[in-house]
């Protein structure tokens, strides 16, 4: 594995730790955001490893397509993609992002991210 790839994967792992800590403390919107970020960084690392160039957009489905990820990962990416905005912006969440997430949803998002990272 290239050093650049290793850094992206390592940060993905760190983001998953942060997602878990936020889940434990009841910050479900933050857990959702960091789960999405972990998946994105893992995919970016995979893209760098396979294509030898960075992927400049934030669309997880596009990145998964670019690296020919299996359908299981693409399915997880479709679920994770909206979390990038919904977990942070009131206009995307239709209200306060902190109110848009509960423990069940945050856990489900984290499981999807773990699927991508694995």
Distances (CA, A) of 113 to 2, 10, 13, 20, 91: 22, 14, 10, 12, 24
Domains of the chain are 3-117 (1.20.120.330)
R_g of the chain computed on alpha carbons: 14
19-67 confidence digits (pLDDT tens): 999 999 999 999 999 999 999 999 999 888 887 766 567 799 999 999 9
**DSSP state letter for 23:** H
Separation CA 44–CA 33 (nearest Å):
16
Q: Which residue has the tokens 């396979």?
A: 50
Average pLDDT, the chain: 93
User: Token pair for residue 54?
Assistant: 């960075």
Distance CA 44, CA 101 (A): 26
**Alpha-carbon span 115 to 71, nearest angstrom:** 11
Q: What would the pLDDT profile of 61-115 be if each residue is shown by its tens digit?
A: 999 999 999 999 999 999 999 999 999 999 999 999 999 999 999 999 999 999 9
């Amino acid at each position: 594995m290239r050093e650049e790839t290793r850094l992206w994967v390592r940060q993905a792992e760190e983001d998953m730790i942060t997602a878990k800590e936020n889940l434990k403390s009841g910050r479900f919107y933050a857990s959702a955001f960091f789960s999405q970020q972990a998946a994105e960084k893992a995919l970016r690392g995979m893209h760098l490893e396979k294509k030898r160039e960075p992927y400049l957009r934030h669309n997880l489905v596009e990145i998964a397509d670019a690296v020919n990820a299996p359908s299981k990962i693409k399915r997880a990416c479709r679920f994770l993609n909206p979390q990038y905005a919904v977990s942070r912006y009131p206009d995307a969440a239709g209200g306060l992002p902190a109110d848009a997430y509960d423990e069940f949803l945050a856990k489900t998002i984290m499981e999807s991210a773990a699927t991508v990272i694995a």
